[in-house]
Structure 1
């Protein structure tokens, strides 16, 4: 259901938005941090990074920059002091639910890693298709007009995609929305990012489940591209005064009900009269029973005659 009403009517109304990749950010990183809620949290008072969540050994770092264009920066290193093996950045338009696809995979990798190695550091070499497979499984198609040396997979609505650059940089970019500072979500993975982590993020992108946003958080240039549905049951409507048509319909309905309970056709009246005569006759017989066979009713005695 698509309800495209001006923001001025209910700007803070919660709505279900789909597809998720066009929902934009809700201004918080809660959904992205939820999979690693048990990891150490560091709240920073100075500098652009406002919140840093790290793995217990600090080799994985998830930073949230609340006021920057690059809202998220996620890295993995061999040890807390070495340079990152890879980096993933998400801009300020990217839904936190999309970031959660990556942080969920990181939490799972870390829980299953040994003391010295982690699948989240390098993983195994894979073809670009392995990173994009969740999108291909969801019906996304390869763009035949991609620049030479790149591979791009496009969503059925043409409003999202994954771009794999096989040239020097080797980066992978997930994007959604029309071009523009406030409308396009971008997630960029450096060349050495394990493909299964990109695939986990892509799988979240292809998830058809809607996400919750306040109406004013949907960009006006994107609103016509998404489906919006109110959260919860609709508000109760106040009773209205009956119209003349309502009054006539009520009168007809009541007349039909009365006719069904009290029939008034000629045939019905004859049947009712016959039933009344039968009941009355039966009542008379019960109050004046017939004499027994062979017994004559006694005659009324006549008074005696007297001769003069």
Structure 2
């Protein structure tokens, strides 16, 4: 069995900034923090894998080649409707998703509900890691506040007007618009802000990530900085084949 550390060392180029790296062509680090949680492999339907906390209050659904690849939620108990939901699409580097799954794994306990309730009422706390990294806050426009990276290729959109519990109020994004290039992680209104912040911190993390150059999206590769690693890459992936495990 591969160790969690092995998930981070596959590739022949270092990609920076990491939010332009897209999916790897190897094992997915987003699952490393919850590798010890129950895994439920599904044979029918678009959801191929559900990982749950031992009490089933936290659910991490993996949808393979669907556009929304991850659907992560938390509920009051194993049979209640989700209190909050995060939708994360197929272009999002799993190292960024790992920021959320690691926070959930660290907080879960049978007697804990910190992953259900927010510690703050201030929307800024959800994106504080981006502000701390020097990302620019744009003026309020049509109920949205935008936080944008210095290169203009990543950011956060915060809806400060919508009040419904299921309203999608925070979206972290990266990459140019387009089905194959724009990464998005969208959180509903009751998502604890410290969990969004954990994801935002992974988005802004300056540490490069490893990828095989042959499976990088060409549009993203042109925008990113690629530095060769000491590892040779695998044969180039045939056009149209999925970059999956």
TM-score (norm 1): 0.68
Q: Which residue of 1 aligns with 2:207?
A: 209
> Of 111, 120, 125, which aligns to 2:120?
125
Q: Given that residues 164 and 170 in structure 1 are in contact (C-alpha distance below 8 angstroms), is that contact kept between their aligned partners in structure 2?
A: no
CA distance in 2, matches of 1:28, 1:65: 16
Q: Which is richer in helix? A: 1
Aligned to 1:195: 193
State the shift of 1:216 in Å: 2.5
Cα deviations by residue, 1:63-84 (Å, 9 ceiling, x for unpaired): 1100201000000001111100
2:181 is aligned with 1:183: yes
For residue 70 of structure 2, what is the aligned residue in structure 1? Answer: 72
The Cα offsets for residues 6-65 of structure 1, whole Å up to 9 and x where unpaired, read as xxxxxx972110111110112566211001111111111111111111000000000110
Structure 1 position 233, deviation (Å):
7.0
Greater relative contact order (CA < 8 Å, ≥ 6 in sequence): 2
Structure 2: any 5+ residue segments left out of the alignment?
1-9, 233-245
For 1:85, what is the secondary structure of its paired residue? strand
Q: Which has the larger radius of gyration?
A: 1
Contact 1:29 1:96 in 2 (8 A): no
- Give the structure 2 partner of residue 57 of structure 1: 55
Count of aligned pairs: 219
**Corresponding position of 1:138:** 133
| Alignment match, 1:100 | 98
Distance in 1, matches of 2:89 and 2:106, equals 24
Residue 227 in structure 1 maps to residue 221 in structure 2:
no
SS of alignment partner, residue 218 of structure 2: coil
User: 1:154 maps to which residue?
Assistant: 148
Q: Is the 8 A contact 2:154 2:175 kept in 1?
A: yes
Which structure: greater strand fraction? 2
**Structure 1 segments unaligned to the other structure (5+ residues):** 1-11, 235-308
**TM-score normalised by the chain length of structure 2:** 0.85
CA distances 1:182-241 after superposition (whole Å, capped 9, x unpaired)? 01000000000000000000000111111111113222112221111111179xxxxxxx
| 1:242-271 deviations in Å (ceiling 9; x for gaps) | xxxxxxxxxxxxxxxxxxxxxxxxxxxxxx
